[in-house]
Amino acid sequence: MPELATVLEEVKKEVRPSEEELRDALTFYEELKEHISESLRISSPYRIELEGSLAKGTALKGDLDLDVFVLIRDEDLSREVLIQNFIKPLELELSKHYLVRRRFASHPYLRVRKGSLEADVVPAYWAKDLSEIRTAVDRTPFHTRYVVNHLTESMKDEVRLLKKFFKGIGVYGAEIRTQGFSGYLTELLIIKYGSFTEALKAMKGWGEGTVVVVENCGEDLATLRQFFRDDVLIVPDPVDTRRNTAAAVSKKSLTLAILAASAFLKEPDKKFFSPPRRALSLEHLREELRTWGRELVIVLYKMKEPVPDVTWGELRRVCSRVLRSLEVSDYPVVDCGTWSDEENFAMIAFDVVNHEKIPPFRIMSGPKKVVGEHLVRFVEKHLRSYEVGPWVDFEGRLKALKPRSILNVEEYLRSNSHVLSCGSGEVVLITSNLAELLRYLEGRGVDKDAVLQWLTAVVAKRLPWL
């Protein structure tokens, strides 16, 4: 295995943006800034600032994270005012020069593209100090200034390493799709630990409820854990200590980060930063499923008005709801996975035991506590509706076998379509036939390779960096 220092030096060279790339991005920013200034028709004072990793000097090659903030000093700057007086007119004017898309998460903004360059144009309230902050977006300029003031030049390379590492293991980004580590949180970890290696050493020892204090906030660890008790990782924002910068990190992302940090420190390898993305053929996928007695049941949605954060949030809720329903009905489930092109389609894959392997009955259990009336009620309810039982098992528990009316999970989902309800889209296909799925998507603008990569990850399951 290559030495740690060798791996890190090679990756540093690969993730640093070139001078030409930075120059082109800054030229695009200045050009965009000029168009915004010429297009805005608002009477309130405003200023345009560059935020994001490009402004902080922590951008990755090929992913410059160009955020253009228009800070507006208007006391009546509501969401509705932003849409009517900022988003709509600016979208109309910028569309004359660029490809523009309106984006709506919790805050409306515009995504502007010119060739390979992309920028988010974000309106926000111009807060003079933290006491004036109205939304999370308003805090961004304060974050930029904090990072710029605390990162040395050498630490910027360390940030890039950690960002690329998080991207490689699939936990980079605070959006609902990932529920991982934001760019700002990544920068704070380097400010705290000083280097990529030290950050990973600390991460290796993390656990659920870990508190990382970047800058003394005047509270002890017990108080912080109580204040942020619903969060799996706690990193108080040095800019605003009432906020946990790691609030978005899910238990899954935390587990992946701890596992990957431990594995990398044991055997350093570039594959953690750029793991191979496999796309098995349909025949290979079928063979893998057959070998383990599994099948995938895919639910495909056609999205109405796709808003990525809303879409991913609803997919997670549907997934949880269906898993609970399958569990109650005793259908063995291995796993589930979600996918979306964030434009037209979204999918949930339920990895389940092949219907041919599912017993034709369910084991029904009586009350745990021995109470006469409860026992009698169970017997009266089920005496004539079951083919086997009721009986009392060796632990004194009433049992009965109930025949299944539906053995196939695909058929079960068709018969219980209410559990698949998704406000952002409608179900257009439920199938365990992967070839049927690909045939449906063919010619509808969906990247077949991206779908096969996702299906491969759901079926094969092995983390690509292990």
Q: What's the pLDDT tens digit per position in 298-307?
A: 999 999 877 8
End-to-end CA separation in angstroms for the chain: 14
Report residue 385's pLDDT band, with 50, 70 and 90 as the boundaries: low
- Given a cut of 90, whether residue 262 has pLDDT beyond it is yes
Q: In what order do the strands lie in the sheet with 425-431?
A: 333-340, 345-353, 294-303, 425-431
pLDDT digits (tens, 9 = 90+) for 310-351: 899 999 999 999 999 999 888 999 999 999 998 899 999 999
SS3 302: strand
pLDDT digits (tens, 9 = 90+) for 186-244: 999 999 999 999 999 999 999 999 999 998 877 788 888 889 999 999 999 999 888 99
| pLDDT above 90 coverage of the chain, percent | 66
Long-range contacts of 54-58 (CB under 8 A, 24+ apart): 54/22, 54/25, 54/26, 54/29, 55/144, 55/148, 56/144, 56/147, 56/148, 56/151, 56/156, 56/187, 57/148, 57/151, 57/153, 57/156, 58/147, 58/151, 58/156, 58/159, 58/160, 58/163, 58/183, 58/187
Report residue 22's pLDDT band, with 50, 70 and 90 as the boundaries: very high
Which bin fits 296, alpha (ψ -120 to 50), beta or left (φ > 0)? beta
pLDDT digits (tens, 9 = 90+) for 35-78: 999 888 788 899 999 999 999 999 999 988 789 999 999 888 88
- Rounded to two decimals, what is the model's pTM? 0.91
The answer to whether 90 and 102 are in contact (CB under 8 A) is no
What is the rounded average pLDDT of the residues 454-460? 95
More confident residue, 328 or 166: 166
More confident residue, 310 or 245: 245
Report residue 182's pLDDT band, with 50, 70 and 90 as the boundaries: very high
Rounded CA-CA distance 388/297 in Å is 30
114: CB partners within 8 A, 6+ apart: 28, 97, 98, 99
Token pair in block for residue 363: 């084991």
pLDDT digits (tens, 9 = 90+) for 87-123: 888 999 899 999 998 887 668 899 999 988 999 999 9
Residue written as token pair 């111009």 = 126
Q: Where are the beta strands (DSSP E) in 284-443?
A: 294-303, 333-340, 345-353, 361-365, 388-392, 398-403, 425-431
pLDDT digits (tens, 9 = 90+) for 393-442: 888 888 888 888 888 999 999 999 999 998 888 999 999 999 999 999 98
Phi, psi at 298, each rounded to 5°: -100, 130
Question: How far is Cα of residue 59 from the mean position of the Cα atoms in its chain?
Answer: 20
Residue written as token pair 């990932």 = 178
Amino acid at 76: D
- Given a cut of 90, whether residue 379 has pLDDT beyond it is no
| pLDDT above 70 coverage of the chain, percent | 98
Q: Which helix (H) or strand (E) holds 441?
A: helix 434-441
Q: Which pLDDT does position 386 carry in this prediction? A: 62
- Given a cut of 80, whether residue 370 has pLDDT beyond it is no
Name which of 136-145, 215-224, 252-261 the model is least confident about. Answer: 215-224
Q: Which pLDDT does position 28 carry in this prediction? A: 95
Report residue 1's pLDDT band, with 50, 70 and 90 as the boundaries: low
Long-range contacts of 444-453 (CB under 8 A, 24+ apart): 444/344, 444/345, 445/343, 445/344, 446/341, 446/344, 446/345, 447/341, 449/279, 450/341, 451/339, 452/279, 452/280, 452/281, 453/277, 453/278, 453/279
